[in-house]
Amino acid sequence: MKHIFSLVLMLVVPLGLIAQTEPIRIVHQAQEPSSSEVITEEIPLETADSVQTQDSLVRVINREIRYFTDTVALVSFSPDSVQKQRVDTIRPDSTDRRGHYIEAHVGLGYGSMGYQFSDPNGFGNPNSVSGSFSALLQLQYAYFFHPNWGVGAGLWFTNYTSHAHLGGYYGWDHTMTGWDGLTDTDGESPYSHRADVNRWDERQTIHNIGIPISLQFREQKENWKAGIFASLGLAPSFSVSKKYKVQTGELAHSAYYPQWNLTLDNMHEFGTKDFTQEEASKGQMSVRPQVAIFADLGALIPLTKQIDLLVGGYFNCALNDANSSSKQDIGWKDNVFTFMNDYQGAYALTEAGSSHPWEVGVKIGVHWHYIKPDKHVNVDYFEHFIRPDTTIEYVTRQDTLVDEYVETLVRTSIQQAAERVEKFNKIYFALDSYKLTNKAKYYLSSIVKVLNEVPEAKIAIDGHASVEGDSIHNEVLSYNRAQAVYKYLVSKGLSSSRVVVLGHGSRIPNEEKDREELKRDRRVEVKVITNEKEMK
């Protein structure tokens, strides 16, 4: 199909370009002049005023003539095309929530072994079970096959902790058991046996590793500040640690002989023991693997295009009974009714019911979304263009542009220029220095302005020094001062041919000063030359 489309373009597009093949004239315009010349014409103007003031009026006409050369060419064109290939970049849609995710969660909540005590003999014993804090660590992979729906699987580590509180008493005699009678270790019969449980607190903890498999839901929009996340699933799990420890607990035995109306306490067989000191005060519980149901619900807060922050809650509970203990009565062993020596924790008592560990809490986590990198593909296309076939030089023509400027100048006489310059012709310097001050530069600029009005006027620059110091040094210093004035005037446009530079050392003092004011000797005087003798 792509080749058929390319063939159609090759046939149709050139036909549309044939109308442009008729020859046309193109003028190549010159951007810069090929040559130029400047003509200056001065016309003196005499008036009565100019005779009286010894000034002259001059009209100056400046003509600038520029010549431009253009070329006219005859050019014919023909259409053509060429097949090319370019590389296009296809960027993935970051708003598409389908794809692969890595999810890491931590949680803190409240959990329990999920069982209670019964009272089968009806003594009204105040036995109870309470839960405790639990923690959750979870890492899983999820794949979203739909913008909202996905499946996940991973690994979690969690714990369930309970406190068993036992109390009350347990009694047996021949009327309750249906036996012919109870016989003590001395052969005395009948008698009733009683076991009292005091201040019993036992901590039970299991640590589970589970494999959560879940169905996940998320709803996120580009303009939402937070999205919704929920999951529901099952987690096969098994216990890696299952311990109990009696923290406080006392077990007391006594015997009642009805024939003598006698109760025996604290005998060798029927004493009271602090069970926390017994070897059986801690040990392993018997727990079978579980299958837990779990659920998560929370808010997703976008951090970047790939990372979301999860804040929410969680719940899980075992569906099957986790207690696989061999049940036993509390306080005695078999029919001997002495202190039991195979205690396996309150979890293994006859009164302990079925166990379904559970926990509920809050969790925080991050979801990282894998976004495919940019894809680069090669695309074939045809580039159509018009090719110049023939270029004929047709004619060369020349354009002329004339700019004319007319101005009238008042030329001042040389004598008047000398009088004007004399007003500010003295330039002063610091001791042993030939550096021009800003004030000196201002005076010199004014002198240049006067001299520009009288092009034929020439000047003499006389450098002087005070009597301090060596005479030879002063000769050089006075000349350097005159040179500094000379260079500045030339930099402002004054022709060097109009200047005479002299250095007089300290031979000629300033006539306008007291002899004590030597600073006025450190000077340069600029004078307009009014006769040729002053040039020598």
* 3-class DSSP string for 357-387: CEEEEEEEEEEEECCCCCEEEEEEEEEEEEE
206-244: pLDDT as tens digits: 999 999 999 999 998 878 889 999 999 999 999 999 999
- Residues forming a β-bridge with 255: 193, 264
- Examine the domain organization and report whether 187 and 336 are in the same domain: yes
- Examine the domain organization and report whether 322 and 206 are in the same domain: yes
* Selection from 45, 81, 47 nearest residue 60 by Cα: 45
User: Quick check: is 496 in a domain?
Assistant: yes
Q: Which has the minimum average pLDDT: 45-59, 186-200, 227-241, 365-379?
A: 45-59
- Examine the domain organization and report whether 241 and 337 are in the same domain: yes
Q: CB-based contacts of 224: which residues, under 8 Å, 6+ apart?
A: none
The packing angle between helices 438-453 and 414-421, to 10°, is 170
Higher-confidence residue: 355 or 531? 355
Strand order in the sheet with 458-463: 426-428, 523-529, 458-463, 499-503
In angstroms, the Cα distances linking 282 to 205, 285, 327, 353 are 11, 9, 17, 20
Alpha helices by DSSP H, 391-501:
414-421, 438-453, 471-491
The span from the CA of 480 to the CA of 396, in Å, is 59
The span from the CA of 384 to the CA of 9, in Å, is 10
Residue with the two structure tokens 């005695």: 332
Q: CB-based contacts of 243: which residues, under 8 Å, 6+ apart?
A: 204, 205, 206, 282, 283, 284, 285
- The count of domains in the chain is 3
- Examine the domain organization and report whether 156 and 182 are in the same domain: yes
Amino acid code (one letter) for 45: L
Pairing outcome for strands 458-463 and 499-503? parallel
Higher-confidence residue: 269 or 248? 248
Q: Which pLDDT value is given to residue 181?
A: 56
507-517: pLDDT as tens digits: 888 876 555 57
Amino acid code (one letter) for 420: R
282-291 residues labelled b (16+ CB within 10 A) or e (exposed): eeebebeebe
Share of the chain above pLDDT 90, in %: 32
Model confidence, pTM? 0.52
Q: Which pLDDT value is given to residue 360?
A: 97
User: Quick check: is 127 in a domain?
Assistant: yes
Amino acid code (one letter) for 246: V
- Examine the domain organization and report whether 279 and 157 are in the same domain: yes
Q: CB-based contacts of 341: which residues, under 8 Å, 6+ apart?
A: 280, 333
Average pLDDT over residues 38-66: 57
Higher-confidence residue: 141 or 17? 141
* Selection from 352, 302, 294, 344 nearest residue 323 by Cα: 352
- Examine the domain organization and report whether 345 and 395 are in the same domain: no
User: Quick check: is 368 in a domain?
Assistant: no
Share of the chain above pLDDT 70, in %: 72
- Examine the domain organization and report whether 85 and 188 are in the same domain: no
Q: Which pLDDT value is given to residue 9?
A: 42
Q: Which pLDDT value is given to residue 228?
A: 95
Query: DSSP readout, 318-366?
Result: ESS--B----B-SS--TTT-S--S----GGGBTTB-----EEEEEEEEE
Q: What is the mean pLDDT of the chain?
A: 79
Question: Residue 258: pLDDT band by 50, 70, 90 thresholds?
Answer: confident
User: Quick check: is 371 in a domain?
Assistant: no
The span from the CA of 195 to the CA of 163, in Å, is 21
- Examine the domain organization and report whether 23 and 51 are in the same domain: yes
Q: Which pLDDT value is given to residue 218?
A: 94
246-256: pLDDT as tens digits: 999 888 877 77
- Examine the domain organization and report whether 138 and 243 are in the same domain: yes
User: Quick check: is 531 in a domain?
Assistant: yes
User: Quick check: is 23 in a domain?
Assistant: yes
420-450: pLDDT as tens digits: 888 778 888 988 888 998 888 888 888 888 8
User: Quick check: is 178 in a domain?
Assistant: yes
- Examine the domain organization and report whether 143 and 250 are in the same domain: yes
The span from the CA of 78 to the CA of 18, in Å, is 7
Count CB atoms within 10 A of the CB of residue 416: 18
pLDDT at 32 over 60: yes
User: Quick check: is 187 in a domain?
Assistant: yes
441: domain CATH number is: 3.30.1330.60
294-352: pLDDT as tens digits: 999 999 999 988 899 999 999 999 999 999 998 887 765 555 555 555 678 889 888 89
Q: Which pLDDT value is given to residue 49?
A: 43
3 state DSSP class of 281: helix
Domain that holds residue 158: 107-212+236-298+313-356
- Examine the domain organization and report whether 54 and 141 are in the same domain: no
CB 509 within 8 A of CB 517: no
Say whether the peptide bond before residue 190 is cis (omega within 30 degrees of 0).
yes
- Examine the domain organization and report whether 433 and 466 are in the same domain: yes
Average pLDDT over residues 276-292: 89
